[in-house]
Structure formats: structure tokens, C-alpha cells
Amino acid sequence: MEVVQNRQTKRKTNWKKISVWSFAILAAIIVITVISLYLYISRSLPMTKGEITIGSISSPVKVTRDDSGVPHILAKNERDLYIAQGYIQAQDRLFQMDLSRRQASGRLSEVIGEATVENDKYFRTLGLKRAAEASYDQYSDEAKEILNWFAEGVNIYMKELEENGKWPIGFKLLGYQPEEWKPIDSLTIGKYMAYDLGGHWENQAFRYYLLQNFSEEKAYDLFPSYPADAPYIISSDKLDIEKSLASAIIPPEFNGSNNWVVSGVKTASGKPLLADDPHLSLSTPSIWYQMHLQSPEMNVSGVIFAGIPGIILGHNDQVAWGVTNTGPDVQDLYIEKRNPDNPKEFLYNDKWVEATIVDEPIKVKGKETIEYEVTITRHGPVISEFAEESGKEDVLSLQWTALEPSIELEAIVEMNKASDWEQFEKALELFHTPAQNFVFASQDGTIAYKANGKIPIRKQGQGLLPVPGWTDEYGWEGYIPYEELPKTVNPEDGFISTANNKVIDESYPYHISNDWAQPYRQMRIQEVLKTKEKLTSKDMMALQMDQKNLQAEEFVPILLENLDASLKGYEKEAIAILKDWDYQDSKDEAAPLIFNLWMKKISDVLFQDEISTEMRGLFKGQKQAVDELIRRAAKGNEGPWIKENGGLSNVLHKSLQLALKDVESLQGSTLAKWKWGEYHQIYFPHSLSSVKPLNYLFNKEGSIPVGGSSVTVQAAANKEDGTVNHGGSWRFVIDTAEMNVGYHLVGPGQSEHPLSKWYHNQMRAWVEGDYHQTYLTDVKGEELTLNP
């Protein structure tokens, strides 16, 4: 017996030894694998210090990357400067640049596969690349040279990668190498930015859908205003909007921005202050790339979209500028009647007119090429055909200013060199699309505002609904003259601010838009700027991070006054929390969580059972519409949407219950422990992080709680799951008394390389408002010399 026990003890001991050794071996294999993977990926880190011979340039170019990874490029002439800009952008953002041109051109399927075919069909239909090609012919020889120099720099870097094989990890994972960079690629990305800032065709389609599917009373209840005239077309049932546009790719609703300038009479320095924070999608890498470009001809600092030369927003040593989206109606849908005997012809003034048919074959990774045709009428591309559910008799075509030739790069070059308001305003005349609210500040004391771009003048209507395409009674008859676009210079108030709000009053003779953002960001900005004097850059940064929710300040009293008396349990606790709230959307409080989810559930209660998810995706003014429905109902004028859901009190009670139920499932039953930031978190997702386990490489930081919301100055709109995916993609402040330095935030960082120290180094800074300073002179950092 003792022998048997000894044997068993030895076996256990041996197994323990084996287990320990097995674990040690496994751990060693994991460590070796991780180290090997790290070394393999780190091979593709770009060289940021030392010397590189790149050829092509005529003199050495000095590139200094400061502590925030911002490249400062110093060249002896413009040619060398733009070649270096292309080279340096490619070092930090080549994979993003290639995906951007593929997205805009409808060529993602070539490297991704079937998953992006519908996306490619949509962008082939829009024709952003066709518009870019038409635009190139309009450019001056000087601008074409800049485009070619930039492309040359990108291609020099790609040639290096071909020789050394150190391609960025994105190319390795998808198994392809990028094609040569061409000037058209830069212009196509520029056209995509115009697409991303939208133009309201979705709202026209949604209103048409309302009139097709609901009574006029219910349809008009959701219009931005009650139209004086009857709708143009309400009888046609041949065109199914829901099926026709179900696959459309819609830009984010909250693409907007804040900007303001303050005159020296209200600042501590006695010189103007400027602040700008464009609101776009938040991802890794950032949509913006920050740079400083210096040559004998210019000294300009700011941001640019990766893949484009110059600086689009920022400052030079004499002037500064920023933008918000004007949001004008620059897109119109036309209902086109197709010839039943010839699908290539459409009716116009009682005659069948042949459309242009463009072959757009779509290559698909691992599959056969898809033959695809785009139909272009006299108004523009037919955008309902790609959904394959319509197109037999009536179709929708799109007329859009961005599909016309335009020369924005000419404007950017002139803006970069401007030394005063007159020169800057002249440059803006060349900036046709997208239409933006430019604010301007100069060291000479001037502050100014100007809306730029081509905004159409319509023969009839104001862009509320699709119009007949078979007659010349509708359509465009020119554009608002440049000299008559909204403008303000040195106003008596001492400041100018815009936040996608309505920029004109009823006396303005032209139509600009039916759809404006909720007014709360603009109201808060003006509230602060009106009441404070001796403002500083620090005050401007604090205002950009301001979390005061003026929507809550307006609606919480209305909501509480109109609830019935049958509240119990959680409901009473929630109401008590809201009553004590200071209306700050703080990440550490429960009140903003309750309020923001409650407002979301009001929309769901009103629309979820009657309007499909796809069509609500086209309802871009939904929040504004719900605000107005509540306002009217609280004044005793309940519209049909609220009446049919049992009245305002019932809608509010039901939506409150649904909101509280959701929060309980997320954060438990103790209301005192609920926090906005436990739900509302920033992630900055990388396009490849959705494929596990790549998320551990590309999004290793995870999520961070953040305050603010879609209606606060610190813009932070979120998805259904609470993930913040939209907000201040770049924050910028400058005091023109000291043009040498600007204050910046580009979340999450400058580099797309996951092992770069500049990859996610600004992620927490974005949450906390920790700006970095970028200088025009005496720059310090890692120095790289590009040699001829």
C-alpha cells in the first residue's frame, strides 16, 4: 500500500513538474510571439530623425516633429515644400490616404471584398471621382504643379516601401499594395469632404415619404415649417422612397462645428481671439492631420485632410481662420419619368431625352467583376437605381453643387498666403464647395464672417421636396452672387459666432436652408461671450470644453410640468435628480444620463411603430422636430403624432419608463450610482479594430468616460450603445497678439501606426481639454533632413 501511495505521489509530483514546464513553455511561446509580432510591426515605423536621400527636391528640407508629433516642414522653395508635405503625410497616414481615395472613388471592394459592394455602387453612382476629374481641367497651371508635387512626394515614399518591404500593417493585413498617387486622388478626397458635410437631399426624400404614407396633417407636423403651397407631387405611388433609398450611405447627422472670433475690445491682449472646432466623425486615425509649412512664400500652420496639399484651417503669421458647416440646400432631388420603351430616355418638356450611361465595373476581391452602369440625367446621377428596387418608371436623380467642377485648392493656396481680410475674402470666392461659415481674425484687429460657396437660386420652391424633372419649370437658375452671401465685418457686439445655426433673418432675399441645427450650442457660446470681458485664450479653450446643456434647461421644466401624478419608485427618484440638476452634462452625474436617454425615447415612442429604421435614418431633423412637437404640445397645441400616442403626458411617462428601464439594465438599480460617463464613452475606433483580436492592437486604450453631448459646446454625440463617435475632431484657439503660437487638439493623435508614440497620445487630452502649443518659430523636436 505504501509503495502504491509513493508511486501516486511521484506521479502527482511529475505531473506538477510537467504542468509547470508546460505553462512555462507556453508562456515563453506567447512572449516570443508577442515580441516577434512587435518587432515585425515596428519595422514599418517611419524614420523621423536623421537624414534620408529622397532625390527630386533641389535643396535639403528640414522636418521637425515636435512633442505632439506635428511635423514642421522648412523648405527653400514651394516645389520642395509640397514634395516634402506629400512624403511626410505618407509616412504618417498612407493607409488612411489610400482607403480615403478608395472610399470616395467606390473602390473598396477591390481590397476588402463583397462586404463593401453596396458602398462602392453608391459612390460610383454619385461620381465624386468623375467630378474631381472634371475639376482638374479647371485648375491653373500653378495649382496643377502643386498637386503634382504633392503626388510626387507620396510616390517617393511608396517607392521606398516597395524597395524595403516595410509597408504599414494595414496593407499587410489586407494583402495588397497601393497604386501610384495621382493629383486626381487628392481632388477626389476633397470632393468626399463635400459629401461628408451633406446637403439635405435626405430630408427632401423623407418629407416625400411622409406625404406618401401619412395624412397631410401628420406629414406637415414633421416639416421644418408648414409650406404655404401644396407639395409638388403627392399622388405618385410609382416611386417607393423606402425601397429606392434603403441602401444609401448617409453622412452623420451632426456634422457641424463651433467657431467664433472676439474683437480686441473684449480681450485681455487687446487683439482678436479666434476659436474653431469642426465636428466630424471621431476615429483612429483622426480625419485631420496637423502640419506647419514654411518656405520663403508662406509660413502657415493648421490642419489638412490626409491626402491633400496645403493647410485648410489654421493661421499664418498675420491672419487666422476657422469654419463651421453652413448647411445650405445645395442638393435637389428630381422625379424623372423614364421612357417605358427605352430605359435610357427620360421625359423633358414633352420630349424623350437620352441620358448619359457610364460604365463603372466594380472589381471585387476574390470574386468576379460586377458590371455596373450609372445613369446620368440632365440634372445629375440617378441615385435610386443602385438600390435595385426601383427604376422601372419613376426614378430620383440628384443635382448637387459638388458634382460640378470646382477649384478649392486654388482657394486654399491663396488663403494660406493672405495677409489681411481683403486678400482672404478674395481667396474665398474660389472656394465653391462645401459651403462653410468662415470666421476670420487678423493681427491688425479685424474680425469678420463670410459664408462661401455656390448656393443655388431655384425657379420654384425652397428645396423642401423632390420636384418634377420632366419640365423646365423647376430647377436652378444660377447661384447667390458672391458679394451677396452673408457677411459681417467688425460688428458692434465685438464678437461673431456660428454653430450651424440659422445665419440670416427674414429680410435676407435668398433661400439658404430649411434645416438648421438645434440652437443650443450657439445660444451657450453667445451667452458666455456677451457676459464676459477681458477674454483670454484660456477662456476660449474652456468654452470649447463647456458642458452646459441649454436644451435640458429649456425642456426639463416642461417635461416635469407635463408628467401625470402617478409616478412611483424609480420615476420619483429620477425626477428628484433632474430637479436638482445644474444642467451640466458631467460624466460623473446621473441627470444627463436620464435626460438624454429620455429625449431619445420620446422619439422612439412617437415614431418607432410607424416609421421604419431605414426611413428614420433619412430623418436628419428628427431632434429639432421632436423639440418643436413638445413645445407646441406644452402650449396646448398637441399635433397628431402626440395625440395618437395618448397625449403629451402619456408620451412623457411612457418614454421615461423606457429610458429608466434601459439605464437599470446597464447600470443597476441604484440611481445614486448612475453616471453619464459609464454609458457615454469615447473610443476612437480604427477601421480594422472590429476584427478581433485586432482591437487589442489598434484600440488597446479601450474606452474613456467623457462629458458633453450633441447639444453642448463640447460636442460629443453618441451611438445607441453610448459610444461617442462624433464631436470636435480638431480644437483650435489663437490670440492674434501672439501669432507665433496656436493651441490645438487632434484626437486621438497624429500617427496611424499603432506602435507610434503619437498614435493615441492625444486621446485623454481630448477628453480633458489638455491642448498642446504649436509654434511657427523656434521649433524643437525630432529632426529629419530630406536630401536631394
CA gap 411, 228 in Å, rounded: 39
Burial 624-652 (b: 16+ CB within 10 A, else e): bbbbbbbeebbeeebbbbbeebeebbebb
With respect to residue 780, please indicate whether it lies within any of the assigned structural domains: no
Nearby residues of 440 by Cβ (< 8 Å), 6 or more positions away: 261, 274, 319, 320, 321, 421, 424, 446, 447, 448, 449, 450
pTM over 0.75: yes
With respect to residue 203, please indicate whether it lies within any of the assigned structural domains: no
pLDDT at position 5: 55
Residues 1 and 103 placed together within one structural domain of the fold: no
> Helix, strand, or coil here: 748?
coil
pLDDT at position 243: 60
Identify whether the C-beta of residue 282 lies closer than 8 Å to the C-beta of residue 348: no
CA gap 693, 699 in Å, rounded: 10
Specify the number of domains making up the chain: 3
- Residue of 100, 92, 91 lying closest to 687 (CA atoms): 100
Tell me the pLDDT band of 506, cut-offs 50, 70 and 90. confident
From 100, 135, 244, 257, active-site residue: 257
Q: Which helix (H) or strand (E) holds 726?
A: strand 723-728
With respect to residue 738, please indicate whether it lies within any of the assigned structural domains: no
Residues 81 and 124 placed together within one structural domain of the fold: yes
- pLDDT tens for 401-426 read 999 999 999 999 999 999 999 999 99
pLDDT at position 618: 85
Is 257 part of the annotated catalytic residue set? yes
Write down which residue in 634, 655, 674 finishes a domain. 674
Domain that holds residue 30: 1-42
pLDDT at position 621: 86
Residues 38 and 103 placed together within one structural domain of the fold: no
Amino acid at 782: E
Residues 28 and 123 placed together within one structural domain of the fold: no
> Residue 560: pLDDT above 60?
yes
CA gap 102, 174 in Å, rounded: 14
CA 275 distance to own-chain centroid: 18
Identify whether the C-beta of residue 762 lies closer than 8 Å to the C-beta of residue 749: yes
pLDDT at position 44: 86
List binding-site positions for Ca(2+): 329, 332
Amino acid at 521: R
Residues 38 and 124 placed together within one structural domain of the fold: no
CA gap 693, 697 in Å, rounded: 8
With respect to residue 176, please indicate whether it lies within any of the assigned structural domains: yes
Amino acid at 584: Q
Q: Is the CA virtual torsion 104, 396, 467, 621 positive or negative?
A: negative
Q: Calculate mean pLDDT across residues 577-592.
A: 98
Residues 139 and 178 placed together within one structural domain of the fold: yes
Tell me the pLDDT band of 23, cut-offs 50, 70 and 90. low
473 burial via Cβ count (<10 Å: 0-12, 13-18, 19+): exposed
Residues 87 and 192 placed together within one structural domain of the fold: yes
CA gap 139, 633 in Å, rounded: 54
**The C-alpha cell that represents 751 in the structure block:** 500617427
- Residue of 113, 111, 91 lying closest to 101 (CA atoms): 111
Residues 25 and 83 placed together within one structural domain of the fold: no
With respect to residue 667, please indicate whether it lies within any of the assigned structural domains: yes
Q: Which helix (H) or strand (E) holds 144?
A: helix 141-164
pLDDT at position 463: 87
Residues in the chain, overall count: 788
- pLDDT tens for 597-638 read 999 999 999 999 999 988 888 888 899 999 999 999 999 999
**The C-alpha cell that represents 661 in the structure block:** 428601464
Residues 108 and 36 placed together within one structural domain of the fold: no
Q: Is the CA virtual torsion 290, 277, 718, 579 positive or negative?
A: positive
The 8-class DSSP code of residue 737 comes to: G
Cα separation values, 433 from 335, 477, 512, Å: 24, 18, 14
List binding-site positions: 329, 332
* CATH number, domain containing residue 122: 1.10.439.10
CA gap 682, 717 in Å, rounded: 10
Phi/psi at 310 (5° precision): 90, -170
With respect to residue 540, please indicate whether it lies within any of the assigned structural domains: no
CA gap 23, 16 in Å, rounded: 10
With respect to residue 73, please indicate whether it lies within any of the assigned structural domains: yes
For the ranges 89-98, 251-260, 371-380, 767-776, the lowest mean pLDDT is seen at: 251-260
pLDDT at position 229: 45
Cα separation values, 260 from 232, 528, 543, Å: 39, 12, 11
Residues 30 and 75 placed together within one structural domain of the fold: no
Q: Is the CA virtual torsion 230, 232, 235, 241 positive or negative?
A: negative
pLDDT at position 209: 87
Write down which residue in 134, 166, 197 finishes a domain. 197
Identify whether the C-beta of residue 786 lies closer than 8 Å to the C-beta of residue 758: no
With respect to residue 599, please indicate whether it lies within any of the assigned structural domains: yes
pLDDT at position 231: 41
> Helix, strand, or coil here: 105?
helix
pLDDT at position 232: 43
